Structure 1
Amino acid sequence: MSTEPETTEEAGPETPDAPEVPEAQGQETAPEDSRAAGDGTAEDTERAESAEGEGSSQLSEAEAELAAQRIERERIEQRKAERAPIESGAKLSGKAADLLAAIRAVESGEKPAATVFGEPEPAPRRPAPEPVRRPQPAPAAAAPGAPAPEAVEAVRRVLGEGGAPEALAPQVAAALGEGADTTLREDPWQLLRITGVRPEQADGFARALLGAACGPDDERRSRAVTGWLLEQAALAGHTALELPTLTAALAQRGVPDPDAAVQGTLAEGEALAFQDALEEPGAPAPRDSNGEEGEGEDEEEEERPVRVLVGLERYALAEESLADGLARLVNSLSKEAAEPWETAAAGAPGGAAELARALALHGLVLHTGGEAARAEPAALLGATRAAGLRAFAVCHTPDGRRRLATLLGEEADEEAVGTVAGLLSGAEGPGRDADGALDLDLLIVLDAPQLDVESAAVLVESLPDGARLVLSGDPAVLWSAGPGRVFADLLAARACPQIASRLPDPGPLGELVSGIGIGELNQVEAPGKEVVIVPVRDAGEAVHRTVQLVADSVPRAIGVPPEQTVVITPGHGGAAGTRALNAALKGRLNPGPGRFGGFDPGDRIAYAPAPGRSVPGRVVNADSDGLHLECAGTPVVVPRERVEQCVRHGWALTAHQAQGSRWPAAVVVLPGDAAQALSRPWVYTAFSRAERHLSVVHGVDQALPKAVAETPAKPRTTRLQTLLRTQIAAGG
């Protein structure tokens, strides 16, 4: 490895970091009802102009009307005394607001009474020139499933009463459904169902609404905090929590009786409990690539220790559905002749032929290896299609799809590859048969470690009986952003053939990454500056040196332009997180005022169409429809109310955001405060995003080799191994 020489080039101007916005908070919009009394509308203007022309000729009639009006005001005052007063008319609209405006105009002497109460119905208004003001879009009809505007407004009032941000109203109305305002008023802790809201914030909201009736022992609070903890566990990758872990977390959150809280949550159907038998070491018999078990495991059932797990219904059912689907693939192979698979094996090279032979006998096959190993499932795809089998391959990102298509060569069929999201949505792939299953004999999923339990369940459920499934990926990378560790659980369950590629990743980068995968951070020879270490003292210097590398050093020394270089850092916050780095890189590479939510045409972005899925792209322009993006050659329009939640600047990414894609050059930033965030999978994933050149902005000293050697992936609590073993055993 080499060390880049110091340069004297000054970094671009530093851009202050944007203020933190709570996760749950959407883009705040002001109410659009401007019909309050006398607010300068066109109708008020017409009345005022009419009054100026008629006032002098109708004074006597006005005096009579004023006398009559005094009597009317006395009646109004009497009615007002019998009910609660309306504050300043601020909550009135339409004719009621106009009536109040008219009364005030008469009382103040601004208009004669006759011009207000005595004039006939106004004639149809003539077309007028467009007012000189920014046009406002007409209220759009609510999208299917979206809360009605009146429901949102009702929730907004409840939030205001409790001191919560009114901008949360659309999310609350969508999450709580019909009667959301009543639900929220009766159980203020339901606010915890909104992403980004924490228990202490919900407690404050509940105190404001309930007053003395609010207490830490309230069973509504206990159930809500239990659900919140399970949701937080899902965000961390768990599909369930062990009961002792959950009760300990409830006690830390001030729940007086954690066991009763869990029981109440289960009784309300807000979570599910499971008892899973603990597997003894060596219990599942490993299978070789032919699927043969070493020894029989049919001894009599004995009582074994169990663990009690509690999980949210959506993840628990997804995990059970996934296990069912995988067991169906393993146990229900088509009885047709294996001739097509043998033909495919004969026409495939090396590892691809081994995959084809395994598929002749098994419905599920796992394939492991690094970047070079992708050539084997690509060759399998070509060989099976040439043998007349209906085969399709998917990746998680457009870049992964592009790299796979490149491996297939010039004769590649564009209809043979796609993305997981495109296949599930129906935008890509072979279509479905009369039963609704994918019209396939073989599905190959690359980058399989990125599969979370929900997307994996939907994918497997879509396969017909007799179809084959190959899951291929690098087991050393980070696990999925969503709950579960599907690929790792399947590898550990050893319920199907596993084929490890023998193709090593080439060059200095391949050597470096391969060492990290086994826990060794080795120095490698890099004669072409494939790997460069840039030491820094603090976060400020890390940002400065990163901008220099992307904008100047890498293009000059390596020949890779800034638009083909990615910056990877451990987190979004901090002095050298993605926010700070993106601000500095934007200031140097695409300066601008951020005319639309902080974005300008030409900005690199990371667009998240769904949680856990990030697509790189660039900003094209913006208009009243929203922010116009170009992502992998596809135009995308993000409505402006969703820009804050879905779009970030994309010169700098986290390792999870970068996973599934590769760039000609990568700059990995490791500031001193990142030491606690480092692990072997994180370093492996970040370093392996580079195709030709890797620069490491290094400020963590010995924390980097220590993380590679001693810090594996954080454990996740899942049930898939146990479920899969049970299902496959039940199916014979």
Structure 2
Amino acid sequence: MTALPGETPGTAGTDTPEGDAPPAATDAEAPARGESTDAEATEAGAPADETGEVAEASADEATESAEAPEDAGEADDTAGASADGEGDAAAPALSEAQAELAAQRELRERIAQRKAAKDGPVAAGTKLSGTAADLLAAVRAVESGEKAGTEFFDSHLGTPTPRRAAPAPAAPPRRPDPATAPVERPAASPEAVDAVRAVLTEGGAPEALARPATGALGEQAAELLRADPWQLLAVPGVRPEQADGFARALLGAGCGPDDERRTAALVGWVLERAALQGHTALDAEAVRAALAERSVRDPDEAVRHAVEEGVALVFQEGAEAGFEGEEGVEAEAPAEGDAPEGEETEAPEPVQVLLGLDRYALAEESLADGLARLLNACEKGADWAEAAAAAPSPSAAELIRTAATAGLVVHSGGEAARAEPAALIAAARGLGLRALGAAHSEDGRRRLAGAIGAPEAAVTLAGLLSGTEGPGRDEDGALALDLLVVLDAPQLDVEGAAVLVEALADGARLVLSGDPGVLGSAGAGRVFADVLAARACPQVVSRTPDPGPIGELVSGIGIGELNQVEAPGKEVVIVPVRDAGEAVHRTVQLVADSVPRAFSIPAADTQVITVGHGGAAGTRVLNEALKQRLNPGPGRFGGFDPGDRVVHVPAPGRAVPGVVRSADAEGLHLDCGGTPVVVPQERVEAVVRHGWALSAHQAAGMRWPAAVVVLPGDAAAGLSRPWVYTAFGRGERHLSVVHGVDQALPHAVAQVPAQERTTRLRPLLEALPTPDAAS
């Protein structure tokens, strides 16, 4: 790896972060939507003063949207989570995302009805009874050591009810229930917003929170906040100390740290923050520890009350549940004398007690059942031998043969392996099947369409779920498909995956394809990794290596080795820097001069990737410097000018690159991959930002002819193997690494794997009957 022609070292300096905080997250809890870490002096959406009261939100905070970090150091690398204490107080979803959100609401309502019919509701504010009370008593007994987990659960709850079997292939088609048809939630009324604004003003909170609070709490938000001020924690960006100040202003000195309203809201807040780091559940001990850090004197009672109120669900998992990276709660051994003398007693099975939010628990259960349905309802007798024989590679042939005999298949491989699902889709379409591929991004969709040779055969996943792309629904409400291949499957979160699987008809085939080494989903869950680990379906591992020096470098990173590769055509270049200022200078020089001169790749086709949005060389600073060099202007359209490269974030976790075309009374006009997008003026600040520089999470699922990865000194703590693997793999022809982290880079590759996420999908899949699953 060599330096580019004409590149010279910059001037010496000190690597001192400027302005924004460094991107490393030190808080053990996950940042809330649009929040910073606890180390920040100011907080997202509502900075707190010394009294803990809520102060006015910064105008720039609305430019962020939530995205889950993959590891502790990745807390800043989000499509919207701020690295420097800036957050997102914007509440309403955009109209273009409403269809997808409506589909998710439909799923949740349907699952809730099933659960209510089976178990009966637990009304908020009432005590538990029956099985629910027994379960809570069991949890308390296990955690206190009074009983072994297996003894108590077996004696009090009996044998668990078997999960419903997946439908047989001959099951009649499912028809949509008119009562659960998606309905768009109406916008908050001006009267409701005004009422909330009055309560916020009375409590010393910023009026800017009125609309997001109404969106989060509904039309009765004012009454709810007056009765329970800690409900303010439901608003993205608000932190406990800010809600505490708000509560003191409304309730006076009578409210204390153990107020049941406060502790219940804190439990929900802790679990929501965990979800932003990808967890769908948390160990109960971790929740109690987080409550203790927030001055709750009796965390046990707080957890009990939160379960009674329905804020959280409780789950008990045994040692064989398969939670990677999580330690079980050990049940206390039998007391001395309990066993007959001379006989050995078996040690009780380790028990892990988890707490989770119902939305993720129900989504995981629905997803597990749906995947089993696809496995068992698929017609297995298809003869695709001729199509497999004509496949362009042995791995593609194996994938075609496997998909012919299974309703659910997992396919893994690198960038070059994307040709294999494309060959599968083309083969299936040649057999007359309704086959389609869905990619995470518009860039991925275009590349997939080109590989298939049929533009109509590729869509984006968001477009498919919202109904704006793809074949639409059949008469039974299911997607009109026989085969769906999902590329970039690691980007699937559990709620999106549940919506997708629910939309597939009995007998349809689903292939999940992706690279296990890349960063995980922005939302909660680890769907692709859990399906792989559960081995509940056939798996095809590509044997097609990624070509060239970049492919060799990235392949080594995937196994924990940072190798020096031969790059005779300067495909990989290392540019050493000594401080953040030099890193910014060299990055601009590479994009504007060196890469275009050496490789004939224009600046518009070179993407800068850095660890976080904040810091002295984060996306904000780099975008400002790149705009000044590549498209200077006064920013007359809300900070943007025609020709600016931007990223549009229509929903949390979705980053869509685009270019500013114009602006008028209607809003800011963007060209997003050939699709015109108009962002209303009042939403521009919240969902559009400059896009010459992106985070690795934003860049996942996309590739450019050239990539410049910026690693300033303050980025060292934010590096991990998945981050490096993802960032270094975004360049097709050329990769420049602006390197200022010394040995932190090889250390991250060798010793900092992805942070494990606590989820329940893997044990749910392992428990489901899947007789045809591959061993």
Calculate the TM-score normalised by the size of structure 1. 0.78
Corresponding position of 2:559? 518
Q: Deviations over 1:387-444 (max 9, x none)?
A: 1122111101000011111212xxx222211111111111222222221111222110
For residue 358 of structure 1, the aligned residue among 374, 379, 402 is 402
**Contact map agreement 1:27 1:642 (CA 8 A) in 2:** no
Aligned residue number for residue 3 of structure 1: 3
The aligned residue for residue 379 of structure 1 is 423
- The yes-or-no answer on 1:306 pairing with 2:351 is yes
The question of whether the paired residues in 1 share the 8 Å contact of 2:321 and 2:763 is answered with: no
2:87 is matched by which residue type in structure 1? E
Checking the alignment, whether the CA contact within 8 Å between 2:322 and 2:762 is kept in structure 1 is no
Counterpart residue identity of residue 612, structure 1: G
Matches within 5 A, 1:474-489: 474-489=515-530
- SS of corresponding position for 2:636: coil
Structure 1, unmatched stretches of 5+, are 29-142, 284-301
What is the letter of the counterpart of residue 688 of structure 1? G
CA contact under 8 A between 1:156 and 1:169: conserved in structure 2?
yes
Gaps of 5+ in 2: 12-17, 21-57, 62-85, 93-183, 325-346
Residue equivalent to 1:197 = 238
Identity value in percent: 70
Report the alpha carbon displacement of residue 210 of structure 1 after superposing the two structures with TM: 1.2
Match of 1:326 among 342, 367, 371: 371
Match of 2:617 among 562, 576, 585: 576
Give the deviation of 1:184 after TM superposition. Answer: 0.7
In the superposition, relative to structure 1, how do residues 668 and 328 fare at CA in structure 2: closer, same or farther (>3 Å)?
same
Range with greater deviation from structure 2 (596-605 or 274-283):
274-283
Q: Aligned pairs, how many? A: 592
Deviation at 1:343, TM superposition (A): 4.1
Q: Which residue of 1 aligns with 2:70?
A: none
Quote the offset at 1:303 in angstroms.
7.7
Q: Which amino acid aligns with 2:455?
A: E
Name the amino acid aligned to 2:426. G
1:457 aligns with 2:498: yes
Shift of 1:144: 4.8
**Residues in 2 aligned to 1:444 and 1:587: alpha-carbon distance in whole angstroms:** 42
Determine the C-alpha separation between the residues in 1 that align with 2:555 and 2:567.
15
Q: Tell me how far apart the structure 1 counterparts of residues 205 and 477 of structure 2 sit (CA, whole Å).
A: 45
Q: Which has the larger radius of gyration?
A: 1
Partner of 1:345: 388
- SS of 1:440's equivalent in the other structure is coil
SS at match of 2:768: helix
Q: Per-residue CA shift, 1:510-566, capped at 9, x if unaligned?
A: 111111011110111111111111111111111111111111111111211111110
Q: Which runs of 4+ in 1 moved over 4 A?
A: 7-10, 15-20, 280-283, 729-732
> Secondary structure at 1:3's aligned position in 2?
coil
Q: Take 1:223 and 1:281, find their aligned partners in 2: how far apart are those partners?
A: 29
Match of residue 90 from structure 1: none
Say if 1:24 and 1:197, in contact at 8 Å, map to a contact too: no
Instruction: Select 1:23's aligned residue among 83, 87, 105.
Output: 87
Deviation, structure 1 residue 476: 0.6
Paired position in structure 2 for 1:530: 571
> Which among 421, 442, 452 is matched to residue 398 of structure 1?
442
Q: Distance in 2 between matches of 1:715 and 1:504?
A: 27
- The secondary structure found in structure 2 opposite 1:154 is helix
Letter in 1 for 2:766: R
How far off its partner does 1:676 sit? 0.7
- Indicate if the aligned counterparts of 1:16 and 1:580 stay in contact, CA closer than 8 A: no
Instruction: Kindly state the Cα deviation for residue 157 of structure 1 after the two structures are TM-superposed.
Output: 1.0
Q: Is structure 2 residue 658 aligned with structure 1 residue 657? A: no
CA 1:280 to 1:510, structure 2 compared with 1: closer, same or farther past 3 Å?
same
Aligned to 1:682: 723
- The residue number in structure 2 matching 1:616 is 657
The residue type equivalent to 1:531 in the other structure is V
3-state SS of 1:2 partner = coil
**Aligned counterpart, 1:500:** 541
Please name the residue that 1:567 is paired with.
608
Superposition deviation, residue 640 in structure 1:
2.2
Q: Tell me how far apart the structure 2 counterparts of residues 520 and 413 of structure 1 sit (CA, whole Å).
A: 38
Q: Name the CA distance, whole Å, in 1 between partners of 2:744 and 2:306.
A: 42
CA distance in 2, matches of 1:304, 1:25: 45
TM-superposition CA deviations, 1:294-332 (whole Å, max 9, x none): xxxxxxxx9843321111111111111111101111122
1:280 deviates by 7.2
How much has 1:729 moved relative to structure 2? 5.3
Alpha carbons 2:518, 2:722 under 8 Å: kept: yes
State the partner residue of 2:262. 221
Distance 1:225 1:281 in 2: 28
State the partner residue of 1:252: 293
1:277 and 1:146 mapped to 2: Cα distance?
Answer: 45
Aligned residue runs from structure 1 range 30-429, under 5 A: 144-279=185-320, 304-334=349-379, 337-339=381-383, 341-349=384-392, 350-408=394-452, 412-429=453-470
Q: Show the 5 A alignment for 1:627-646.
A: 627-646=668-687
Contact 2:662 2:668 in 1 (8 A): yes
Partner Cα distance (1:19, 1:6) in 2: 39
Match of 2:757 in 1: 716
The 8 Å contact of residues 379 and 405 in structure 2, kept in 1 or not, is answered as no
Provide the C-alpha distance between the structure 1 equivalents of 2:470 and 2:214, rounded to a whole number of angstroms: 36
**Counterpart contact for 2:376–2:770, Cα < 8 Å:** no
2:464 partner SS: helix
- CA positional deviation for 1:252: 1.0
1:670, distance to aligned residue in structure 2 (A): 0.3
Cross-structure match for 2:486:
445
Q: TM-score, normalised by structure 2?
A: 0.74
Structure 1 residue 351, shift from structure 2 partner = 1.7
Q: Is 1:505–1:514's contact at 8 Å kept on the other side of the alignment?
A: yes
Tell me by how many angstroms 1:202 deviates.
0.8
